[in-house]
């Protein structure tokens, strides 16, 4: 039996992973440890909240005593860390929380892993490699983060490496490309464009819209994390992506097509400062463990659009209060 602590489990990917883990491993217990920032949402876990193998603790990964209490109280042996500040545009406005949570919070979890002998898996990002003009990033490539968010995630990756080497912490890292799917907060481009289109609002496309991202389905990412958690080599990093990139303009057009909305909703807006034009991952190493993504981009997008169409109860209430304040600062005051 494994008792798994999931920091950030009330967010987008974390909540999908919790659901996946409970279904896949009938003897695992899962404890979500989440601060419930603007991005954390217990609605994401509503369908499993009565599961006897699930528990929730509201807590901050920067709070070492709270982390230790959770580890002791639930006899935790494994940590899979999703907790982070995750939105690049917010990190450009104000990086403070990113440095705290993504760097210092990771340090706190690593200290707990060292003290209690925990297996630690870290959910990292392809953004640590920076903009890749040609070819694809391999796990051994140098880190060249270009946004405060990416730099905070690179800081975490380097700390993990140091704890593996110095303290023999049993850690692994996955570096994932862009995820799409159910329960993604509508600040990220795909749910933002879907929900705006449903309301006949403009789709704000940055710059020339020719930037490339590898949009993968969230459950494919969850399977990869599961595989690395169970079969990955300690101390190793694994890229996770489909290996196929899509231009943002094509992604926006595809969403409008699926919803039967006009292309005139696309509105070009000033570019993100320091915008990484292209990410591309070499996923040979992960494929070596036997992983293949189940969804093409078209399938992932189709499922995602359908989920937002059918789950207005989930996203409609999020697009108010703090969200509108952020939206105004990010889109309306920048023109």
The residues of the shown chain that bind ligand NAD, judged by CB under 6 A, are 7-8, 10-14, 34-37, 39-40, 60-62, 82-86, 101, 105, 123, 125, 153, 176, 178-179, 185
Nearer of residues 39 and 305 to ligand NAD, judged by Cβ: 39
Q: Which does 241 bind (CB under 5 to 8 A by kind): ligand DAU, ligand NAD, none?
A: none
CB of 24 vs ligand DAU, minimal distance in Å: 24
CB of 69 vs ligand DAU, minimal distance in Å: 28
**For residues 178-213, b (16+ Cβ closer than 10 Å) or e, as one string?**
bbbbbbbbbbbbbbbbbbbbbeeeebbbeeebebbb
Any bridge partners for residue 31, and if so which? 5, 55
User: If binding is defined by CB under 6 A, does position 189 make contact with ligand DAU?
Assistant: yes
- Rounded to 5 degrees, φ, ψ at 121 are -115, 135
CB of 48 vs ligand NAD, minimal distance in Å: 15
Q: Which does 83 bind (CB under 5 to 8 A by kind): ligand NAD, ligand DAU, none?
A: ligand NAD
CA end-to-end span of the chain, whole Å? 54
Which of the residues are catalytic? 126-127, 149
Q: Which of 248, 256, 283, 291 binds ligand DAU (CB under 6 A)?
A: 248
Nearer of residues 44 and 178 to ligand DAU, judged by Cβ: 178
**Long-range contact pairs involving 321-327 (C-beta distance under 8 Å, separation at least 24):** 322/38, 323/38, 323/186, 323/187, 326/90, 326/187
262 alpha carbon, distance to own chain's centre:
30
Residues 6+ apart with CB under 8 A from 47: 19
User: If binding is defined by CB under 6 A, does position 44 make contact with ligand DAU?
Assistant: no
User: If binding is defined by CB under 6 A, does position 188 make contact with ligand DAU?
Assistant: yes
In angstroms, the Cα distances linking 278 to 137, 191, 213, 218, 246 are 11, 20, 6, 20, 10
The piece of 14-22, 36-44, 124-132, 312-320 that touches ligand DAU (CB under 6 A) is 124-132
Nearer of residues 114 and 138 to ligand DAU, judged by Cβ: 138
Please identify the residue of the shown chain whose CB is closest to the bound ligand DAU: 125
Strand 179-180 and strand 119-125: the pairing is unpaired
Alpha-carbon distance 285 to 291, whole Å?
9
The piece of 35-43, 129-137, 187-195, 309-317 that touches ligand DAU (CB under 6 A) is 187-195
Alpha-carbon distance 147 to 307, whole Å?
30
How many other CB atoms are found less than 10 A from the CB of residue 250?
Answer: 14
Q: Which parts of 179-241 are beta strand (E)? A: 179-180, 203-206, 212-213, 216-217, 237-240
CB of 39 vs ligand DAU, minimal distance in Å: 10
Helix (H, G, I), strand (E, B) or coil at 80: strand
DSSP string, 242-253: -S--EEHHHHHH
Q: Which does 105 bind (CB under 5 to 8 A by kind): ligand DAU, ligand NAD, none?
A: ligand NAD
Q: Which does 172 bind (CB under 5 to 8 A by kind): ligand NAD, ligand DAU, none?
A: none
User: If binding is defined by CB under 6 A, does position 157 make contact with ligand DAU?
Assistant: no
Q: Which of 86, 106, 174, 216 binds ligand DAU (CB under 6 A)?
A: 86
User: If binding is defined by CB under 6 A, does position 87 make contact with ligand DAU?
Assistant: yes
| DSSP label of 44 | G
Q: Which of 98, 107, 238, 279 binds ligand DAU (CB under 6 A)?
A: 279
User: If binding is defined by CB under 6 A, does position 20 make contact with ligand DAU?
Assistant: no
Residues that bind ligand DAU (CB under 6 A): 86-89, 125-127, 177-178, 188-189, 192, 204-206, 211, 213, 248, 272, 279
């Amino acid at each position: 039996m494994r008792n798994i602590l999931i920091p950030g489990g009330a967010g987008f990917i974390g909540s999908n992973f919790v659901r996946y883990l409970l279904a896949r491993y009938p003897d695992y217990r899962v404890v979500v440890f989440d601060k419930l920032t603007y991005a954390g949402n217990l609605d994401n876990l509503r369908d499993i909240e009565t599961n006897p193998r699930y528990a929730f603790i509201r807590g901050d990964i920067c709070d070492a005593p709270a982390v230790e209490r959770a580890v002791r109280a639930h006899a935790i042996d494994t940590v899979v860390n999703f907790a982070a500040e995750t939105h690049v545009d917010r990190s450009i406005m104000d990086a403070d929380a990113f440095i705290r949570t993504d760097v210092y919070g990771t340090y706190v979890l690593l200290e707990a892993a060292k003290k209690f002998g925990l297996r630690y898996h870290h959910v990292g990002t392809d953004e640590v490699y920076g903009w890749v003009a040609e070819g694809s990033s391999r796990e051994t490539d140098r880190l060249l983060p270009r946004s405060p968010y990416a730099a905070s995630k690179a800081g975490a990756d380097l700390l993990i490496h140091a704890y593996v080497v110095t303290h023999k912490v049993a850690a692994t890292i996955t570096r994932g490309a862009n995820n799409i799917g159910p329960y993604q907060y509508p600040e990220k481009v795909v749910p933002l464009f879907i929900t705006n289109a449903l309301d006949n609002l403009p789709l704000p496309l940055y710059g020339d819209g020719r930037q490339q991202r590898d949009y993968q389905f969230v459950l494919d990412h969850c399977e990869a994390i599961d595989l690395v958690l169970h079969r990955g080599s300690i101390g190793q990093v694994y890229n996770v992506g489909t290996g196929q990139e899509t231009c943002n303009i094509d992604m926006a057009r595809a969403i409008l097509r699926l919803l039967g909305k006009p292309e005139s909703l696309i509105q070009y807006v000033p570019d993100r400062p320091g915008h990484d034009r292209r990410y591309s991952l070499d996923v040979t190493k992960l494929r070596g463990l036997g992983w293949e993504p189940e969804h093409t981009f078209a399938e992932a997008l189709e499922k995602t659009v359908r989920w937002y169409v059918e789950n207005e109860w989930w996203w409609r209430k999020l697009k108010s209060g703090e969200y509108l304040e952020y939206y105004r600062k990010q889109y309306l005051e920048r023109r």
